[in-house]
Structure 1
Amino acid sequence: MVKKHKVKLLFLQETKMKEITATTARDLWHGGRPTWETLEADGASGGIVMMWDQGTIEQLKVEKGRNYKNGKLSQYMGQPLMQQGGDFNAIRSPSEKKGGRRTITAAMTNFQSFISDHELIDLGLSGGAYTWTNGRKPPILAKLDRFLANQQWLDLFGASSNSVLTRIASDHNLILLETQPNSWGPSPFRFENCWLLEDEFIQGLQQWWEELEVNGTRGCQFSQKLKGLKGKIKIWCKERKLNFEKERTDILSMLDTFNQKEEQQDLDIFEEVERDKLRREAEKLDTQELIYWRQRAHYKWIKEGDLNSKLFHMIASHRRRINRINMLQIDGQTITKPEVIEETFVKFYKDLYEEEDQQRPFPENLKVTVLKEEAAQSLIEPFTEEEINTAIFSLSGDKALGPDGFTAEFYKAGWEFMKNDIMNLFQEFYDDGITSDSMGSSFITLIPKKEWAAHPKDFKPISLVSSHYKIISRVLASPLKRVLGQVISKHQSAFIQGRQILDSAIILHELVHQYSKKIERGAILKLDFQKAFDKVNWCFLDKIMEKMGFPQQWRRWISSCISSARFSLILNGTVKSYFKSSRGLRQGDPLSPLLFNIVSEGLCAMILEGQEKGWLLDLSIKNLHVPILQFADDTVLLCQGTNEQMLNAITVLNLYQIASGQNINWEKSSMLGLNIEDELEEHMRSIIGCPKMILPSTYLGLPLYQGRATKQIWNNVIERCQKRLETWKGKFLSHAGRVTLVKATLARIPTYYLSLMECPASVVKKLEAIQRTFLWCGSDNLFKYPLEKSALWRQVLDTKYGSTQNKWLPRKCSNSTMSSLWKGIMKRAPEVIRHIRFHVRTGTKVNFWTDAWIGQNPLSISFPAVFHLSLNKEVKVSSIMSNNILAGRDLQLRRDLKEEEVIQVAELVQLIDSQYMPSSGVDEIIWAPEPDGEYTVASYYKLSQPTASPSPSGTYHIWKLIAPAKKFKVNLCMPASFQFLIEQWSASPLPYWGKILWKATLAAIPCIHGLPPLPLPVLKKFWSSVVHFTAPKPPNMVQWKPPLPPLVKLNFDGSSIRNPGHAGVGGVIRDSAGEILMAYSGPAGVCGSNVAEAKALLTGIKLLKQLQITSVEIEGDSQLVIGWARKPGSAPWAMRSIFDEIHDTVRDWRIAWMATPRSANSLADQLAKVGVSANGLNTSQSLQQIL
């Protein structure tokens, strides 16, 4: 081993030897004369030997001892390099152990704390997951041996990696640490976004692009231009030689020179200008370095505001290290030579993307949903400049680069001068599809699916497509997303607008809970498709699309996109090999997830046909049947628990595999029997050849369990949070950056679980120990409930538990009938319901008394006495609002009113009469805390968070002791009269400019004695510039302009005292001659300025309707209100009824909406202010009568 791997330092533990002789040392070292140190064994245990090559390691200080403890107090200018390795006899989490109990122990927590406290990073392992075995049957395996290093070590040895070597005699594996891995060759061209900060580079880009002369199709021309531009950029890079460290050192040196000079004497104006220029250069350099490393980090949670290139450097180093491939294990043989590793990968992926049978049989009578005609036509509309521009600017600028090496930031920066070429490219694609081989080329980058990836199948292939193909794919994906929900069944929940990953998880959990309380047999088959995306048959996809009614031109485009795929492998940063594909969808192509949904619909259609014909009997809740659940390639089949049903299911799956090219990996699939005898379940599993699913298991990353959720279920959450935080050290982040990291960790890991389960208190404490602040989210699905009435998960819950009469909310059930999942969600129901409001349009779905549809509370709370008299307490709003009795509304009361009750009824009738009821539309549920009424997790966080976040103990006292007291209300200016201030502001600036001129003169002429003064023409020119610069500018006052004949113009305004407070409305309607047709002014109650503006607009529109004017310009000084009026449905929910009435009134009018400065709206503003104190609405053609 020493000779094979050219080991320079060898460390052996548990030698059980008293001493080591020179002969033994040479035998261990396989010849040569090593240097060594030993620590003798204590009886039959212990013993350490450390050997090293004196020629490589020139200096090594060794300290040793039994139960060794050594304390030193040293002061470093920086953190020292630290690397620790050996048998720690501890693991960090249950995932580092196989066999035995899988609980988080105190020893694990302590070891994790040791790593975190010392800011160490686990270097990971390749070639195996465990390093120790107890040698029993069944064995217990664990990762007891490892190498740990701090960031300073990794800065120097960034490519460090360690591998598990073969275990022979010992119960521990040998661990090999390598700091200088093999070189794999040069890296491909990469466009650096930091270049775009160089002004000369931007100018050069446009010049180079326009100079390039190319031939061929438009696709070929575009590809050739990118290739030619790449050559120009490489030349520029050689000349520019961007070196952050050297340039920063030079700039700082020059800044120091200026600063030191300033300590001795004042800098002249030219030196100050030069110093400012250097400071800007330093800032630009820092930003460029930040962009450089952020582009390599690929982390979305990091914001540009956290200007910390060191952090990005660390992330990028971590990514390179975990993605580096140093060895493979094929058929028990370890491969370390780069050329053999390359050959192995190329053969594996050539075979993977090569279709064995191009013409597979297709089930011609397959029943699928057909796309609507208008939806189909929308897919093949000509491409517009707007949608292409939107696609480009929606792409992430830091994403991994394809074969051409260009990023989305390049296209954003060059859009104006590249626009015509891009439009020509799209026009050719519209006519002929993809015409350039280079456009379809892709890099395959390999992402390890597990820490010890050692075989090509252990890596996930991600395609890095060319930049111009990605733009085309993004443009095609947008309309496909909009229509795909029409043809994809409700059993699929991936990549469809309005469907979420949690939908399938809820359904499966409820089915398991339902069948655990029944005597009926059931079977759940969780399928694992082998390389699902990579084995899709293109003909099968095309025929499914044809059956779904996709236009032929669309199908031709898709066929062109997927069949143009050509691959090169990226191995350790270098490009290897080149081959074509004949099947598969590229992971990394925006189209691929959507197209895979279409492929998966083939399986769903087959299963549903089997259900319809009666030879596939699925699981059900009452009369609701659920035969299959799909989320991308995660598929669960549900059937009754008999041998016959299992054989029928396998038959359907085999037909699907033959037709689509998909392969099921039965060894990784699993089966769960529900109420099935062990012998029968064993026989059923033997039929299909898959293992048993043991609960708790996982589905879509969430636990699947029966009964109560135990602490063990949360082990994975705690472990993932720890791993998420271990690599990112707080010292590299600002305070805001650390907050962002904590939020990102919470949002991506625990809240996913919390969406379905309630967290035990002990787990909360552990999470708080990791993150200090815990954000609760348990109600998302409850709020989704009224919004997704047709969703399969909603139908499952309705069938199982029922719903309220108006179908807005789930019905309350006894705890004994609810699953633990639904019980946890319903526990938060009162808190969520308290913040729900209803926006009424027809009122057929909203309860008049018990739903909060007008005001802040339900009317049953606002008018309890009248509610008590109501005969029908479940009456709908539509029933009350449609019954208009002479004296008011028919409230359907059970007796005549008493004198004191008459007043309450009158107030109630007045309130509901003020509510506008649109003539059409649907009732909406509103999340009151958000202005737009849309529920967001962040909004719920804010409500459920305490007013002050918990902070580490002692922080307050530290700041109390160290920080100086803040001073408030310090008068920086002495009191002065208004007249004095006017005089100061009006004073001549000439003395100031005279001083600048004098300083410039002194700087230009070191010694002015005996020299002629500055030439008179220069002084005159300078003086005229000063006078021009300081001349008073007239105020920019916009005047009211009359409309063009025959139009009239409505100007409106609202005024609110103290905002919110007593408010007024005002406005004026004038013709093209400026004559007043109607002016109005009146009170608007107590409200904010935006509501007052909206009420003023509504009042003006009602007056226009009375005057029978329908062609009008409407002008106001509130851009928000004008924007809401232009776009129906965009107003905040609290003002939606006002704008509903506005939009219903002006539906057939001709209107020009215009926002104007207040100076052009002064008359309406004056009328609104008068209206605040008015007794009622005043209207007149004469202003004198109102004002």
Structure 2
Amino acid sequence: MEQLAESISIISKENGSDRVEAVGFSGGIWVGWKNSVRVYITCSHPQFISLRVDNFICNKSIFISFVYGSPDRNVYGFLNSRKRTFLRSLNNIQKAIDHSPSSLLSQKELEVRDELENEKAVDYFKRLYGEITPTLMGMPNFDFPRLNHSEVFFLEADVTNEEIKKALFDMAPLKAPGSDGYHAIFFQSQWDLLGGDVCQLVKEVFAGRQIEKDLNNMLIVLIPKKENPEDFSQFRPISLCSVLYKLEQAGFIAEWNISNNIILTQEIIHSMRCKQKARNWMALKLDLEKAYDRVSWEFIEASLSATGIPICLRKVIMSVISSSTMQILWNGVPTCKFKPVRGVHQGCPLSSYLFVLCMEWLGEVRSQIVQVFGFQEVQNLGKYLDVPLFHERVTKCTIRFLVDKSLMIPKNVYLEIEKLVRQFIWGCTDDHSKMSLVGWDSICQPCSRGGLGFRHLEDQNNSFLMKIGYSLGSKNNAIWVRVLRSKYCWKESILDSIYKSRSSHLWKALSKLWPLIRDKLIWSLGDGSTVRCWKDKRIPGMGSLISKIPGFSNIDLDCRVRDLVNLDGSWSVELLRVCPDRVVWAQLSSGAFSVRSAYWTLKESTWKTLDEQWKAIWNLPGPQRVRVFLWLAVQQRLLINSESVRKGLSACSSCALCGHTTEGLAHVFRDCSFAKNVWMFILPEQLKQRFFSSPFPYWFSLNLSFHERLQDSGLSWPCLFGVVVWRVWKNKNLFIFQNLSWSATEVVWKSSCWARQYGLRMGSTERSSFSSKLVTFSNDSWVSLHTDGAVARNSGYVASGGVARDKEGNWIVRFSHFFRSLLSI
């Protein structure tokens, strides 16, 4: 190759050339050109030659690269270093181009950078999950809590089909699937077909069978812990497991919320702050970096053994953990597989239990660490569960990044957030502001009351705080409830007031809301041992019994309901249930608290009354943009000319299309000559007279609630009406701003097509069943039947239809059918 290139160079001395020598199996490129062409070598490398050719005709530069691949790693180096060198060369080449950078090179640069980041991610997590932790020399010497005999017997029992089915149906149907792509809803909906095989597989795994490799392959999704993460340690790896893999380790920690930990920690810090003699108090904050990912499997097995988990179940658990493989999901594409040798996976149901077991040891060895190491005093304790440990007043600055359910949000924060929401709704940007057509209070009404269903953030925050207040009054056995009750001397379940001086910010916020919370709490009678007969409320809205029957001074106001049951049976004890008395939420018949009902309690008195026309708008079988437009029209918030004059935006209130002196909504949509021509094309003859004579609000509401279909086209009238009204409005604006206008027939045709297409897509057009009764012909007659079908890939909706014609081609009958969804088989 070298000799040939040298010979050619000597022969063509008057022409230009350049070449690179071969390195191993890489390189050996020769490029030649005529001297009449102006060529500049921008970069030369054993792997490629890049040059720029100036074109005098069009005054542009052409960029060309010649690449020769397949390097020998022993001679040339490793792939990563080659890619980095290539990237540096690409940057130099892009800088050398006089005009705009090459899109081809830019795309190649992005691809190479993505490959490098991909390889870095795999390398990082290989090291994270692949580092062998030191061998345990012995577990800490302390009495680890063990299972009793009955619990061990329960765990050793064979798993049943009912338990497997319950575990499967407890899974969220559409949680992110694993590498096989199947959601839990697939197995739930096809349980009659697949249930036997699923149960057999799970039982075999519990009997000692090794889990198949395809089932325990996990996709790792990287969730950033902060904005603009700088390295992979600032990502949280979440494991996407297959449904059958989850089924073999299904579990969760019930009745516990992360906000409970936050509340407890905040109250502890507040107590330390308020202690007059706080020298003997201290707070220790431990940050376990990548705690889940670094747990030793040997340590997990030792913890399971120390707890007394049966050996058969230990083998299943360790098999589930140790047999897994991983793939990083990088830009939606799985990377190469690798096998971990330590760690538990965030996203697996069993991981929380295993981690809690391992953390039990931490509490025991903590006292030993205290004796060995010193501690440094700090003024700011940082964050706990991403929430700052405040021991001073909460301000906008301290809570700027935080919108949480366990703290009272400062007013400036939620006002700023609501401002951003309003700007988004009306399409405002930093460079261009727009008018708000509807007030924020109206938007925050429910859809059934004329709003859009948004919520005031202040009241939403108060609803979350009311949930905490409800839990304080009803969940007597919760640890965090017992701590707070002890701190603030709360002895009764439902107090008249919970105000305390020098209380925490959370408690002050709850004190303000407590009268409203207290009025919505009632007792649900169980065994009668807790409920006070005269003082406690048992019926919503009725108050206590003593408030209804005053004047008795010789009765025991603190007597319990059970105390009023006589031994002679005058009040049957059987009427009392064996379950304990409990505090329930009076706003719902179930007695369970919901944030939604709390929000309604706060806001319902300020809302408008129910109106069926709002329901008609939001149930309209038409496009969402048409629904929102109709909502604005009923609110009378469209910027017609008369409204523009009132707001000082225009000097003329007449109609731009027909010149009518005053333009109102009725005129725009119905009475304008253009709109009237549109309606005359659509309306049946018998409806034309009364269609144009009704008052506008009644006319609008009546057409939206008219549920019949047009006989000729089979279209839904509310859908067609809404689309036509929207098209008429668009035509008016088109004429004003662009001096263009559609004809009435164009509006009718476009509206009908859109309504028909939407009806077919949503299955709302008239659907007739298949029928064998077409037309009866004599024996020598023929019928031509044409059928077709279609499926929407995204939704899975299926529709079919056809038409029958005689031998002359004359139409006989049509038919169509809509299927919500069908299996591909």
State the TM bucket, normalised to the shorter chain: 0.5 to 0.7
Which residue is 2:321 aligned to?
A: 562
Work out the CA distance in 1 between the residues paired with 2:490 and 2:169.
Answer: 44
Instruction: Report the 3-state secondary structure (helix = DSSP H, G, I; strand = E; otherwise coil) of the residue aligned with 2:418.
Output: helix
Instruction: Report the 3-state secondary structure (helix = DSSP H, G, I; strand = E; otherwise coil) of the residue aligned with 1:419.
Output: helix
Letter in 2 for 1:502: S
Work out the CA distance in 2 between the residues paired with 1:177 and 1:374.
Answer: 73
Which residue is 2:534 aligned to?
A: 849
1:956 aligns with 2:614: no
Structure 1 residues 409 and 505, CA gap change in structure 2 (3 angstroms): closer
C-alpha displacement of 1:431: 0.9
C-alpha displacement of 1:821: 1.3
Which residue is 2:562 aligned to?
A: 878
* 8 Å CA contact retained: 1:840, 1:917: no
C-alpha displacement of 1:536: 0.7
1:515 aligns with 2:272: yes
TM-score under structure 1 normalisation?
0.40
1:499 aligns with 2:300: no
Match 2:549 to one of 852, 857, 863: 863
Structure 1 residues 389 and 802, CA gap change in structure 2 (3 angstroms): same
Work out the CA distance in 1 between the residues paired with 2:525 and 2:549.
Answer: 19
1:29-53 Cα offsets, whole Å, 9 max, x none, are x996999xxxxxxxxxxxxxxxx98
Structure 1 residues 836 and 458, CA gap change in structure 2 (3 angstroms): closer
* 8 Å CA contact retained: 2:168, 2:184: yes
Work out the CA distance in 1 between the residues paired with 2:632 and 2:313.
Answer: 62
C-alpha displacement of 1:803: 1.4
C-alpha displacement of 1:560: 0.8
Instruction: Report the 3-state secondary structure (helix = DSSP H, G, I; strand = E; otherwise coil) of the residue aligned with 1:568.
Output: strand
Pairs aligned (count)? 525
Structure 1 residues 926 and 815, CA gap change in structure 2 (3 angstroms): closer
Which residue is 1:455 aligned to?
A: 231
Which residue is 2:480 aligned to?
A: 793
Work out the CA distance in 2 between the residues paired with 1:883 and 1:31.
Answer: 106
Match 1:378 to one of 141, 154, 174: 154
Work out the CA distance in 1 between the residues paired with 2:584 and 2:215.
Answer: 47
1:296-319 Cα offsets, whole Å, 9 max, x none, are xxxxxxxxxxxxxxxxxxxxxxxx
Structure 1 residues 801 and 392, CA gap change in structure 2 (3 angstroms): closer
Letter in 1 for 2:260: D
Letter in 2 for 1:520: A
1:427 aligns with 2:203: yes
Could you say what the CA RMSD is over the residues aligned between the two structures, in angstroms?
4.4
Letter in 2 for 1:829: W
Work out the CA distance in 1 between the residues paired with 2:203 and 2:139.
Answer: 36
What are the equivalent positions in structure 2 for 1:246-257 lying under 5 Å apart?
A: none
Which residue is 1:1102 aligned to?
A: none
Which residue is 1:310 aligned to?
A: none
Structure 1 residues 392 and 342, CA gap change in structure 2 (3 angstroms): same
1:388 aligns with 2:179: no
Letter in 2 for 1:471: L
C-alpha displacement of 1:694: 2.5
* 8 Å CA contact retained: 1:445, 1:463: yes
Work out the CA distance in 2 between the residues paired with 1:409 and 1:542.
Answer: 33
More off after superposition, 385-394 vs 830-839: 385-394
What are the equivalent positions in structure 2 for 1:148-187 lying under 5 Å apart?
A: none
1:648 aligns with 2:370: yes
Work out the CA distance in 1 between the residues paired with 2:508 and 2:108.
Answer: 57
Instruction: Report the 3-state secondary structure (helix = DSSP H, G, I; strand = E; otherwise coil) of the residue aligned with 1:713.
Output: coil
Work out the CA distance in 1 between the residues paired with 2:594 and 2:341.
Answer: 43
Work out the CA distance in 1 between the residues paired with 2:478 and 2:466.
Answer: 17
Letter in 1 for 2:268: L
1:527-578 Cα offsets, whole Å, 9 max, x none, are 2211111111122222222222322222111111111122233333334333
Work out the CA distance in 2 between the residues paired with 1:456 and 1:364.
Answer: 33
Match 1:368 to one of 144, 151, 160: 144
Match 1:715 to one of 400, 405, 409: 400
More off after superposition, 544-553 vs 554-563: 544-553
Instruction: Report the 3-state secondary structure (helix = DSSP H, G, I; strand = E; otherwise coil) of the residue aligned with 1:425.
Output: helix
Match 2:417 to one of 767, 770, 774: 767
Work out the CA distance in 1 between the residues paired with 2:235 and 2:416.
Answer: 32
Which residue is 1:933 aligned to?
A: 591
Structure 1 residues 711 and 1000, CA gap change in structure 2 (3 angstroms): farther
* 8 Å CA contact retained: 2:53, 2:62: no
Which residue is 2:75 aligned to?
A: none
Instruction: Report the 3-state secondary structure (helix = DSSP H, G, I; strand = E; otherwise coil) of the residue aligned with 2:223.
Output: strand
What are the equivalent positions in structure 2 for 1:115-130 lying under 5 Å apart?
A: none
Percent same amino acid among aligned pairs? 24
Letter in 2 for 1:929: Q
Instruction: Report the 3-state secondary structure (helix = DSSP H, G, I; strand = E; otherwise coil) of the residue aligned with 1:796.
Output: helix
C-alpha displacement of 1:178: 8.9
* 8 Å CA contact retained: 1:369, 1:548: yes
1:823 aligns with 2:508: yes
Structure 1 residues 338 and 715, CA gap change in structure 2 (3 angstroms): closer
Letter in 2 for 1:966: Y
* 8 Å CA contact retained: 2:634, 2:697: no
1:798-820 Cα offsets, whole Å, 9 max, x none, are 2221113xx31468455423112
Match 2:806 to one of 1005, 1009, 1025: 1005
Work out the CA distance in 2 between the residues paired with 1:938 and 1:528.
Answer: 36
Instruction: Report the 3-state secondary structure (helix = DSSP H, G, I; strand = E; otherwise coil) of the residue aligned with 2:401.
Output: helix
* 8 Å CA contact retained: 1:399, 1:407: yes
Structure 1 residues 437 and 832, CA gap change in structure 2 (3 angstroms): same
C-alpha displacement of 1:857: 2.0
Match 2:578 to one of 901, 905, 920: 920
Work out the CA distance in 1 between the residues paired with 2:515 and 2:508.
Answer: 13
C-alpha displacement of 1:716: 1.5
Match 1:602 to one of 358, 361, 364: 361
C-alpha displacement of 1:429: 0.7
Which residue is 2:697 aligned to?
A: 965
Instruction: Report the 3-state secondary structure (helix = DSSP H, G, I; strand = E; otherwise coil) of the residue aligned with 2:383.
Output: strand
Letter in 2 for 1:799: S
Which residue is 2:289 aligned to?
A: 530
Work out the CA distance in 2 between the residues paired with 1:848 and 1:368.
Answer: 46
* 8 Å CA contact retained: 2:54, 2:60: yes
Q: Structure 1: which 5+ runs fail to align?
A: 1-25, 36-51, 57-164, 166-175, 185-325, 328-335, 482-495, 616-646, 652-682, 687-691, 718-749, 889-912, 974-991, 1015-1187
1:881-915 Cα offsets, whole Å, 9 max, x none, are 34889xx9xxxxxxxxxxxxxxxxxxxxxxxx699
1:260-281 Cα offsets, whole Å, 9 max, x none, are xxxxxxxxxxxxxxxxxxxxxx
Which residue is 1:706 aligned to?
A: 391
1:445 aligns with 2:129: no
Letter in 2 for 1:946: E
Work out the CA distance in 2 between the residues paired with 1:830 and 1:177.
Answer: 69
TM-score under structure 2 normalisation?
0.56
Instruction: Report the 3-state secondary structure (helix = DSSP H, G, I; strand = E; otherwise coil) of the residue aligned with 2:207.
Output: helix
* 8 Å CA contact retained: 1:849, 1:874: yes
Letter in 1 for 2:514: A
Q: Structure 2: which 5+ runs fail to align?
A: 1-41, 43-49, 64-90, 92-100, 422-439, 441-454, 609-627, 639-663, 670-695, 708-770, 785-803, 813-825
* 8 Å CA contact retained: 1:785, 1:810: no
1:540 aligns with 2:289: no
Structure 1 residues 715 and 34, CA gap change in structure 2 (3 angstroms): farther
Letter in 1 for 2:160: T
| Greater RCO, CA 8 A, separation 6+ | 1
Instruction: Report the 3-state secondary structure (helix = DSSP H, G, I; strand = E; otherwise coil) of the residue aligned with 2:272.
Output: helix
* 8 Å CA contact retained: 1:798, 1:810: no
